[in-house]
Structure 1
Amino acid sequence: MAAEEPAGAGASAKPSGTPTSAPSDTPTTVPSSTPTTAPSETPTSTPTPGTPTAQPTTTPTAKPTTKPPAKVNYALEVEKRLDAWGYPVGTVDGKVTLRTKQALCAWRETNGLPISRGRLTTGDVRSVLLAKNRPAPNKPNGLYVNKTCQMLYQVVNNTYRRIVWVSTGAAGYDTPNRTGKVWRKWAGAHESSLYDDAYMYDSIYFLKDRPGIALHGSRANSLVKTYPASHRCIRVMRPQIHEIFQETKIGTRVSVYGKY
């Protein structure tokens, strides 16, 4: 009969094929493919859709160093040029007055442009400001009165020696469009033989069949209007008429033309 094992002997001895501890279903280390912390479903900051994170800079950080070009007063520049070339405009102030229009009318004529006393146009501005000098006349020596412009041209040796304002005959006293020659000169002042208290200065007569018609100065320059205002004669400013009188010889050509 076999001997019985002592009590407790089976408890202290373990079978050699049995592990010392029970296997665990949970690994002791976390695989590298598994994050160490659980991901959060809530972002740390919530961006506002459509709103940039920084305000764009729309204002330049420094002011421009250049100023916009100043506006050009073309009427003033035209007046300056015309006045410098001997086309009388009156006061050079950039205002296109009736006197300025007379000068523009003369400029158009002497440059072969359509003759009128109309307003200043873009074409006039270009014509005047791009011109290099005053044009030369294509007329022989003489005195030329344009009734449209109410201007007189004194042509001497292929130049416009003078361009001056005149006032020709008013309605009912129209100065005839004629070409004649100086046949008489009367220096100084004398009273008209046709009209009482009408004084004429340095008169130049040029139509023998119309002996009362002359170029002359008047008692006051204010009588030389911007429009026809005389009794058929041609009123000229003083002292211009005095200078023209001294330089004009008997036999000089005088031509009146145009229509106001």
Structure 2
Amino acid sequence: MSRRHGLVAAAVVLSIVLAGCSDVAASETSSQSPSAGGTTSAPPASTPTPTATPTANPTTAKPTTKPTVKPKPKNPHNAQYYALKVEQKLEKLGYPVGDADGDITVRGRQALCAWRETNGMPISRKGLTLDEAYSVINATAKPTPTKADGIYVNKTCQVLYQVVNKQYKRIVWISTGAPGYDTPNRTGKVWRKYAGAHESSLYEDAYMYDSLYFLKDRPGIALHGSRVNSLIKPYPASHRCVRVLRPQIHQIFADTPIGTTVSVYGKYLYS
């Protein structure tokens, strides 16, 4: 009898264990399969899929790269280009520069000095500025002089202007009196002309060519050519006279009658 009760109890325990395994399996699946105990388990509750909630003000993503900035256009020409163009134009207009090679030397600065004066700018032998380069390059002719016909010697620029018929007929290099022999700033009139070569009455072996004397109270002072053009320096170097290049002095001599006004002015600034 006791053995029978033991078998019945074992059967009951086994059925509970089997039913418990079936419940676990049913809860882990969505199928409605019958349990070992003969009952149908309810399907598990489905989990709702979450939906995205739009934000009221979406944030715009900032660009990770900086916008391309176009570089400023560069001037395609260098200083030598403008210097060469200026030299060529000055020479064409009658302002002597020497060698037109893009290198503005002391002779080129004399031409620039004359350009400034004839165009009403401050007179100086300074170098070329970009504004002046444009001014020279765009010029088509020398300006009309504001001075009467005559000869004008500018000691600052070390140039001579010959004005004939209200036009600049010539602009040439000159060399005035050196320190201690300064050419006086005066206005006179040509009172004597001496054609060809002759020796100075003041300095031995100093030859003068096509001389134009213009100060009666200083009879030894004249415009004249020299034995060689190398004596016409780009700075004051004479003994008070005004040295002029040859053959320019010969041409000036021919175009200058007695009584022509000669004016000397300015001051050479040594630097």
Which residue is 2:111 aligned to? 103
Which residue is 1:76 aligned to? 84
Q: Tell me the SS of whatever aligns to 1:245.
A: helix
Change (3 A) 1:114 1:97: same
Q: Report deviation, 1:123.
A: 2.4
Which residue is 1:21 aligned to? none
Q: Does 1:145 align with 2:132?
A: no
Q: Does 1:156 align with 2:164?
A: yes
Which residue is 1:91 aligned to? 99
Which residue is 1:254 aligned to? 262
List gaps (5 residues or longer) in structure 2: 1-32, 34-73
Q: Does 1:179 align with 2:192?
A: no
Q: Tell me the SS of whatever aligns to 2:153.
A: strand
Q: Report deviation, 1:132.
A: 2.7
Greater share of helix: 2
Q: Tell me the SS of whatever aligns to 2:219.
A: coil
Task: Output the CA distance in 2 between the equivalents of 1:69 and 1:104.
Answer: 23
Q: Does 1:212 align with 2:210?
A: no
**Amino acid in the other structure paired with 2:226:** S
Q: Tell me the SS of whatever aligns to 1:202.
A: strand
Could you report, residue by residue, the CA deviation over 1:136-180 in whole angstroms, capped at 9, with x for unpaired residues?
A: 101111000000000000000111000000000000000000000
Q: Tell me the SS of whatever aligns to 1:186.
A: strand
Task: Output the CA distance in 2 between the equivalents of 1:194 and 1:154.
Answer: 27
Task: Output the CA distance in 2 between the equivalents of 1:158 and 1:234.
Answer: 23
**Amino acid in the other structure paired with 2:189:** K
Q: Report deviation, 1:190.
A: 0.4
Q: Does 1:225 align with 2:201?
A: no
**Amino acid in the other structure paired with 1:132:** T
Task: Output the CA distance in 2 between the equivalents of 1:187 and 1:129.
Answer: 39
Task: Output the CA distance in 2 between the equivalents of 1:210 and 1:69.
Answer: 55
RMSD: 1.5
Which residue is 2:62 aligned to? none
Which residue is 1:52 aligned to? none
Q: Does 1:124 align with 2:132?
A: yes
Q: Tell me the SS of whatever aligns to 1:91.
A: coil
Task: Output the CA distance in 1 between the equivalents of 2:176 and 2:147.
Answer: 21
Task: Output the CA distance in 1 between the equivalents of 2:93 and 2:182.
Answer: 30
Which residue is 2:196 aligned to? 188
Of the three residues 247, 261, 265, the one matched with 1:239 is 247
Task: Output the CA distance in 1 between the equivalents of 2:165 and 2:131.
Answer: 30
Q: Report deviation, 1:248.
A: 0.3
Number of aligned positions between the proteins:
196
Q: Tell me the SS of whatever aligns to 1:125.
A: helix
Task: Output the CA distance in 1 between the equivalents of 2:230 and 2:157.
Answer: 18
How does 1:59-70 map onto structure 2 within 5 Å? none
* TM-score in terms of structure 1 length: 0.73
* TM-score in terms of structure 2 length: 0.70
Identity of aligned residues (%): 71
**Amino acid in the other structure paired with 1:244:** I
Task: Output the CA distance in 2 between the equivalents of 1:130 and 1:240.
Answer: 28
